Chains A and B, each alone.
Chain A
Amino acid sequence: GAVVSQHPSWVICKSGTSVKIECRSLDFQATTMFWYRQFPKQSLMLMATSNEGSKATYEQGVEKDKFLINHASLTLSTLTVTSAHPEDSSFYICSANGGSYEQYFGPGTRLTVT
C-alpha cells in the first residue's frame, strides 16, 4: 500500500530556533499534501494544503510566516516551524493524496519546544 514517512519522529528544540519536518510519499507521487496539528485528546486540525510547485493554502488562523510549507517535488513536502515557542509544541501529522481523494497519513512528528 501507499506509504508516507515523516522525519524526524520526535524533535526537541529551544525556544526561538527553527525546526524542519519532512513528509515523503515513498511509493507514489502526491500532487497534494496536507499538514495537520494534533493536541492531546483533540482532533486533527488541518493547518494547510500543500500543492507541488505552488504556494500552500493555509487554513484560517494559521500563521503562514510561522509555519513555512514547501512542496518542492511530487514526493516531498516540508514544514518549517520558525522561531518556535513552547506553545508550538504539538504533534504534527502530514498526509498525501494518493488519488481518488484518498489521503495516506504519515506517523507524525512530536515537537517539544523548551
Chain B
Amino acid sequence: GDSVTQMEGPVTLSEEAFLTINCTYTATGYPSLFWYVQYPGEGLQLLLKATKADDKGSNKGFEATYRKETTSFHLEKGSVQVSDSAVYFCALRGQGGSEKLVFGKGTKLTVNP
C-alpha cells in the first residue's frame, strides 16, 4: 500500500539556518503530496501541496518540489525563525480522487534564537 517516510527528528537549528526535512513516498500512479505543520497545542494545518510531478508548493518561505523520479517531496526553508518551531508531517493522497491521507511519522523542529 501507499506509504510515506520522512526523516527522523528531532531537528534543532539556530535562527536563520537552512532547513531540509526529507520525505519520500511509495504509491502507485501520481499521488498528491502535502506538508502539514502542527504548532504546539494546535491542530494540523496545511503548509503546502503539490498535485503533479515537478510542481513546487510554497508558503511562508517553505518550499517543496514533487520529484517523481526520486519519489520525493523534501521540505526546505532558507532561513528558519523561532516561530517555525513545530512538528512537520509529510503526507500523500492517492491518485483517483481518494480523500484518504497517508502520513509520515512527523519531524519535530526546534529553532533556537
The residues of A with any CB-CB pair to B shorter than 8 Å are: 4, 32, 34, 41-44, 46, 49, 93, 95, 97, 101-108
B32 to chain A, nearest CB (A): 8
Task: Give the secondary structure class of A's interface.
Answer: strand
The distance from the CB of B11 to the nearest CB of chain A, in whole angstroms, is: 14
Q: B residues touching A (Cβ–Cβ < 8 Å)?
A: 4, 32, 36, 41-46, 89, 93, 97, 99-106
Complex A-B: 19 CB contacts under 8 Å: A4-B43, A32-B99, A34-B99, A34-B100, A43-B89, A43-B103, A44-B44, A46-B100, A46-B102, A49-B99, A95-B43, A101-B93, A102-B46, A103-B46, A103-B101, A105-B43, A105-B44, A105-B45, A107-B41
Q: How far is the CB of A27 from chain B (nearest CB, A)?
A: 14
A42, B104: Cα distance in complex, Å? 8
* CB-nearest residue of chain A to B101: A103
List A contacts of B45 (CB < 8 A): 105
Inter-subunit contact A49/B100 (CB<8 Å) = yes
Contact residues in A for B43 (Cβ distance below 8 Å): 4, 93, 95, 104-108
A41→B105 contact, CB < 8 A: yes
Query: Residues of B contacting A93 with CB < 8 Å?
Result: 43-44
Cβ–Cβ contact B89 & A107, under 8 A: no
Which residues of the partner chain B approach A4 to less than 8 Å between Cβ atoms? 43
A44 and B99 form a contact (CB under 8 A):
no
Most chain B beta carbons < 10 A, residue from A42, A44, A95, A102: A44
**Assembled-state Cα–Cα distance A104/B93 (Å):** 14
Specify the chain A residue showing the minimal Cβ separation from B1. A60
Q: A-B pairs with the 8 shortest C-beta distances?
A: A105-B43, A105-B44, A43-B103, A107-B43, A43-B105, A44-B103, A106-B43, A43-B104
